[in-house]
Amino acid sequence: MKRVLSGMQSSGQLTIGNYIGALRNYVKLQHLHQCFFMVVDMHAITVPQEPAALREQTEMAAALYVAAGLDPNKATIFLQSHVSAHAELGWIMTTLTNMGELERMTQFKDKAEGKDSVGAGLFTYPSLMAADILLYNADIIPVGDDQKQHLELTRDLANRFNNRFGEYFTMPEAYMPEVGARIMSLDDASKKMSKSSPNPGSFIGMLDEPDVIRKKLSRAVTDSGREVKFDPQNKREVSNLMSIYSHFAEMSLVEIEAKYEGQGYGPFKKDLAEQIVAVLEPIQQRYKEIRRSGEIHDVLKKGAQEAAEVANQTLLEVKKRMGFVL
């Protein structure tokens, strides 16, 4: 049995991009491996968060994990900030990281673009992410395509540590969906769909009401043609919507093309909205029950205990090897 680790930032409401790129895979993997799934609230504060919003977003994300099908008796579900070893190993990993490596990170460049002032945490966050993964000696990391570069850095840091202080860390491997590893924004298909986008029309939130989903899709940008065809080079917007369709309806791209041949975009977008609603509605129902019962607090408490047991052991070993007085 392998070890799986992944997490999402509580920087907004989870989107269908987070669902397709990561959460759906979490649910599958919990039946196959030993899994640790966290809400990375300490990553969320790399951009300013209002305290009340951070609290709500963090509980929302954890409750959505469970509502989407994560079982606290199968997987360890916890908050990053509840296990202090993350911050400690995060600092150690920062000291092993070179500035040049962080400067190359495209996500940092994207997030810093056009901002007058950027927090140092946004720059160093890939080192904390490396610590998140290495603390659990995880083998498999289910992530979307945007996290590939950060995972490469994690592997480099694991190698660097192993070379300097003796073989210890496992080399983690990314686990990505074949289609939909990068779901793009509904208003601009050159940008990835992001939960922290200031334009709510650019993403579909996992808690969006059915009518909101229908409206957002009817307004989603397409091209001036009318052919439902998967061609990411020339038909970026429609190809993105087709990837989403393929996931929610569990249909291949070829099947989708055949179904909408000669029909234009209208019926395709309408059906897509219904496919998304059909998957999200039961999750939203369960979500409401979970929030109402308050059970998520018990889930997170149990998860933090389980996670800390593994993480603290790793941290101790790392400190011993590096020469800290214990």
Residue ranges for the known binding site are 9-11, 17-18, 132, 144-146, 183, 192-196
**Residue 78 near residue 300, CB atoms below 8 Å:** yes
Q: Is 46 in the site for ligand AQP (CB under 6 A)?
A: no
Binding letters toward ligand AQP, positions 89-128, x by CB under 6 A: ----------------------------------------
235 classed as catalytic: no
In angstroms, give the least distance from the CB of 321 to ligand AQP: 29
Catalytic residue among 28, 115, 191, 195: 195
Whether residue 309 contacts residue 135, with contact meaning beta carbons closer than 8 Å, is answered with no
CB of 182 to ligand AQP, least distance (A): 5
3 state SS of 15: strand
Instruction: Please report, for residues 223, 256, 265, 271, the alpha-carbon distance to residue 262 in angstroms, rounded to integers and kept in the order given.
Output: 15, 12, 9, 15
CB of 124 to ligand AQP, least distance (A): 15
Tell me the residue length of the chain. Answer: 326
Binding segment for ligand AQP among 12-20, 97-105, 229-237, 243-251 (CB under 6 A)? 12-20
One-letter amino acid for residue 83 of the chain: V
Q: Strands 173-175, 140-142: parallel, antiparallel or unpaired by DSSP?
A: parallel
Marked catalytic residue, from 111, 216, 235, 269: 111
Judged by CB under 6 A, the chain residues 195 through 224 that form the site for ligand AQP are 195-196
Do the bridges between strand 3-8 and strand 34-39 make them parallel or antiparallel, or are there none, so unpaired? parallel
> What do you get for the CA distance between the two ends of the chain, in Å?
32
Element (H, E) at 300: helix 296-322
Please identify which residue in the block is written with the tokens 């334009």: 199
21 forms part of the interface with ligand AQP (CB under 6 A): yes
**Region binding ligand AQP by CB under 6 A among candidate stretches 114-122, 186-194, 219-227, 268-276:** 186-194
SS3 of residue 103 by DSSP = helix
- Does 183 bind ligand AQP (CB under 6 A)? Our answer is yes
Question: Can 192 be counted among the known catalytic residues?
Answer: yes
DSSP state letter for 183: P
Interface residue with ligand AQP among 3, 5, 15, 296 (CB under 6 A) is: 15
269 is catalytic: no
Q: 192, 216, 235, 269: which one is catalytic?
A: 192
